[in-house]
């Protein structure tokens, strides 16, 4: 047995012991008594803990916890089984020991918390896909524009995009679909049969937004645009509703550090009336005598509105969307 004056070996000393390729065991000062062992034959590098009646994790791919009878006593062993992971895994074993001896945690809790914290450290930050990002960005711009004519509460209530409704905004007597692209052309993806289908007695309008990436001192990130929307809505129940809808749209505050793209409007927004002359695919537009489209449940196509004249009789409530600013 090797006695160590310090609680833990430094990395270079531990590496030297591993490279000796012989069985070793040494105690870590503290209570409870814990031993670190190296067994090249298994191979394994691990710790031996007095059995406290708990049951730590079973077997992971390269980490094993088991109960053993050793030198007349019952112990719990937690050890790494992949030789290439010995050096990198040793600090994890030391963290378990510290939780046992310094925080006096049970064996199962010490192992579980160490792995949980390590998992959080390695967890990838969430982010939205580029189409989801600019889609949410565009809807928030329109939401802010509608606060003027509708008021904060009505504008937030009208925002239906996060709720997976047919259209992004449902006003009192009309629906509005918002399409945002970062393409040089005004080209938008349509993702269902009903996205450009008006509901009975409710005119359907489409707002087309074009974004472009900006430099470090211009434009807004999605996180900043969300904060702009919060400030425009103001405190109270509408803000609570906005936060709920942002969550439904997929936004998480943890995304802010990784979504740093700054966006500017490439062109002035345009608004179109979705009527019989608008280019679209709907079930009713397909002649049943030519094709039976009922078995087609999902549909995705792209329309290019670059050369299509926008509407000239835009409802007054939608006119602020034509003057959007970032």
Q: Round to the nearest angstrom and report the end-to-end CA distance of the chain.
A: 69
Residue 64, pLDDT > 80, answer: yes
**Nearest in space to 169 (alpha carbons), one of 139, 138, 211, 190:** 139
Q: Is the dihedral of CA 143, 148, 149, 155 positive or negative?
A: positive
Is-contact 295 179, C-beta < 8 A? no
Is-contact 188 218, C-beta < 8 A? no
pLDDT tens, position by position, 84-93? 999 989 999 9
Radius of gyration of the chain, Cα coordinates, nearest whole angstrom: 31
> CB-based contacts of 195: which residues, under 8 Å, 6+ apart?
166, 167, 177
- Give me the percent of the chain exceeding a pLDDT of 90: 61
The reported pLDDT for the residue numbered 59 is 66
The reported pLDDT for the residue numbered 40 is 92
> Distance (Å, rounded) from C-alpha 63 to C-alpha 221?
42
pLDDT tens, position by position, 259-282? 889 999 999 999 999 998 899 988
Alpha helices (H) in the chain, listed in sequence order: 11-19, 86-101, 107-122, 130-150, 152-158, 222-233, 237-248
pLDDT tens, position by position, 135-172? 999 999 999 999 999 999 999 999 998 876 789 999 99
What per-residue string of b and e applies to 290-324 under the rule 16 or more CB within 10 Å gives b? eeebeeeeeeeeebebeeeebbeebbebbebbeeb
Phi-psi region of 60 (alpha: psi -120 to 50; beta: other; left: phi over 0): beta
Is-contact 266 212, C-beta < 8 A? yes
Q: At what angle do helices 222-233 and 237-248 cross, to 10 degrees?
A: 150
Pairwise pLDDT comparison (64 vs 270), residue with the higher score: 270
The reported pLDDT for the residue numbered 6 is 67
The reported pLDDT for the residue numbered 28 is 93
Give the SS3 label for residue 110: helix
pLDDT tens, position by position, 171-205? 999 999 999 999 999 999 998 888 999 988 899 99
Interval 291-296 mean pLDDT: 76
pLDDT tens, position by position, 108-140? 889 988 988 887 777 666 788 899 999 999 999
Interval 23-41 mean pLDDT: 93
Pairwise pLDDT comparison (287 vs 133), residue with the higher score: 133
The reported pLDDT for the residue numbered 290 is 67
> Distance (Å, rounded) from C-alpha 155 to C-alpha 234?
12
- 39 exposure class (CB count in 10 Å sphere: 0-12, 13-18, 19+): middle
Rounded to two decimals, the pTM is: 0.65
């Amino acid at each position: 047995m090797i006695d160590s004056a310090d609680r833990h070996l430094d990395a270079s000393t531990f590496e030297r012991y591993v490279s000796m390729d012989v069985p070793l065991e040494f105690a870590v000062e503290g209570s409870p008594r814990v031993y670190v062992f190296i067994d090249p034959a298994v191979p394994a590098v691990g710790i031996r803990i007095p059995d406290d009646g708990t049951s730590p994790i079973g077997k992971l791919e390269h980490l094993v916890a088991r109960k053993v009878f050793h030198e007349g006593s019952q112990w719990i062993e937690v050890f790494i089984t992949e030789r290439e992971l010995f050096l990198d895994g040793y600090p994890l074993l030391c963290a378990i020991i510290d939780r046992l001896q310094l925080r006096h945690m049970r064996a199962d809790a010490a192992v579980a918390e160490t792995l949980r914290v390590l998992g959080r450290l390695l967890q990838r930050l969430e982010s939205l896909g580029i189409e989801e990002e600019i889609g949410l960005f565009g809807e928030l711009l329109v939401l802010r524009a509608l606060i003027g004519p509708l008021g904060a509460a009505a504008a937030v209530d009208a925002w239906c995009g996060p709720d997976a409704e047919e259209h992004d905004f449902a006003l009192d007597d009309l629906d509005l679909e918002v399409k945002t692209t970062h393409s040089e052309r005004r080209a938008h993806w349509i993702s269902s049969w009903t996205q450009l289908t008006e509901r009975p007695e409710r005119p359907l309008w489409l707002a087309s937004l074009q974004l472009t990436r900006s430099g470090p001192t211009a434009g807004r990130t999605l996180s900043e645009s969300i904060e702009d929307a919060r400030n425009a809505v103001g405190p109270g129940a509408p803000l609570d509703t906005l936060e709920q809808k942002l969550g439904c749209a997929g936004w998480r505050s943890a995304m802010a550090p990784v979504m740093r793209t700054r966006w500017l409007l490439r062109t002035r927004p345009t608004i179109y009336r979705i009527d019989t002359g608008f280019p679209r695919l709907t079930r009713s537009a397909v002649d049943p005598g030519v094709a039976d489209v009922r078995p087609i449940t999902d549909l995705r196509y792209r329309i290019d509105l670059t050369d299509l004249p926008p509407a000239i009789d835009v409802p007054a409530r939608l006119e602020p969307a034509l003057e959007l600013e970032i």
